[in-house]
Structure 1
Amino acid sequence: MKIMQINASARSAGANSTRLADAVTARLKAQNPQAVVELRDLATNPHPVLDEPSLGALFTPAEQRTPEQVARVALDDVLIAQVQSADTIVLGVPMYNFGVPVQLKTWIDAIARAGVTFRYTASGPEGLLKGKKVYVALARGGLYRDTPADSQVPYLRSVLGFLGMTDIEFIYAEGLAMGAESTSKAFAEAEARIEELFATREQVPA
């Protein structure tokens, strides 16, 4: 089993979303001691954004690419190979200005490639990253769950599902900017949810 953890915070240390993602990964590892964990921290190892030169490289036939274009496409290839080889994906996602961090959007832009991670068919698009379990650990300063202000969950459910990843669990820690008591409660509830998820899995016959 391979576990891929993506830390999407702009902070390389002390991020609340990373704390939650670490807790999920630790629980997965405890349940699967032989599992291999691969970590990609998008703060310490940022990926280039999808800009005009990047698009030019992607839309240039492979045999016609310049050395610079080859190198640019290769950066995305690495992320695609990582997610293709993962059995379980853990995303640590903070909320920035009501949306996902640019670090996470850049990762999504890199792994979403027509003909590789999704394809168009006569009956519509088909995601090719199937059979993966995804845990999304969400950290928010306010309270957004199940409200119109929560743009993250619908977006992530849509884009991950488009790529074939439909088995998704969302774990919430909210109200983290609303005082110490609210923060303690948020983490306690999130950690209880993590335990509940894995206790349920442990009861399922192998």
Structure 2
Amino acid sequence: MTNLLRIDASAQSEDRSLTRQLTSLFTQTFLEVAPDTTLVSRDVGHSPPPFVDGRFIHAAFTAPDQREDWMADVLAPSDRLVDEVVAADIIVMGVPMYNYGMPAALKAWIDQVARIGRTFSFDLERGDFPIEPMLSGKRLAVLSSRGEFGFAPGGIRAHKNALDPAIAACAHYFGVDETAIESIAIEYQEFKDDRHRASIDQARARTAALARRLAAEAQTARKRAEFARLGA
């Protein structure tokens, strides 16, 4: 069975949020192809996770067998989010670009998921690269919207794109290699012209196609695993 984790980071309501419309389209299409999928939805835009503070850091970097009772309470929201990521095979994120970067709510989610001993290990014996991911093999679809345009590599505003590089830099915390990230973006939102309408149509078509492909690949992988299990 495939586990799909949907993350929505927009502060807007669904009828006003383009990214929510894309994640809805993605999940609906995915489930049509792979109806046995387990879907978990996490709306960080409307219910943001707690920001990391000194108590969180103290608790997270204390060995589990040495934690006090209050530390378990502080880490409980993080544990729930990490459990969802661990279980996921595919993560789809609806991520609007806010001031050229990610919404604070999504950054809070990443900070809660990046947990030593749960999603990464740290060992100074590795030299200058002490961090090693503990999760792997997951796929990530980033469905975004931008007020302006030209943020893709080589675009006229590529140098201002602080969103895509930040997600790629942190993806290893949730078990995603940079080569396993696929991004689709609606642009020209502030212009509300024909270019914007065309961008919406293109993004919707690409989103549906991506969902169908990933769902079909997941179905094929599941059948192969079942065949191998029965053959064993």
Mapping 1:3-14, distance limit 5 Å:
3-13=4-14, 14=16
TM-score (norm 2): 0.80
Distance 1:12 1:127 in 2: 34
Root-mean-square deviation (Å): 2.3
Equivalent residue for 1:192, pick from 184, 205, 212: 205
Distance 2:135 2:41 in 1: 19
Residue by residue, what CA displacement relative to the aligned partner does 1:134-154 show, whole Å, maximum 9, x if unpaired?
110011111122211111111
8 Å contact from structure 1 (residues 126, 164) kept in 2: no
SS of corresponding position for 2:160: coil
Change over 3 Å in CA distance of 1:11–1:199 after alignment to 2: closer
8 Å contact from structure 1 (residues 49, 106) kept in 2: yes
Match of 1:161 in 2: 172
Residue by residue, what CA displacement relative to the aligned partner does 1:87-139 show, whole Å, maximum 9, x if unpaired?
11010000111110000000000011122111245373322221111110011
Mapping 1:32-43, distance limit 5 Å:
32-43=34-45
The structural deviation recorded for 1:199 is 5.8
Mapping 1:1-206, distance limit 5 Å:
1-13=2-14, 14-120=16-122, 122=126, 124=129, 125-143=131-149, 144-146=151-153, 147-161=158-172, 163-166=174-177, 167-198=180-211, 206=220
Between Structure 1 and Structure 2, whose CA radius of gyration is higher? Answer: 2
Moved more, 73-82 or 36-45: 36-45
Q: Paired residues, what number?
A: 206
Distance 1:83 1:203 in 2: 21
Stretches of structure 2 that go unaligned for 5 or more consecutive residues are: 221-232
Moved more, 60-69 or 111-120: 60-69
TM-score (norm 1): 0.89
SS of corresponding position for 1:148: helix
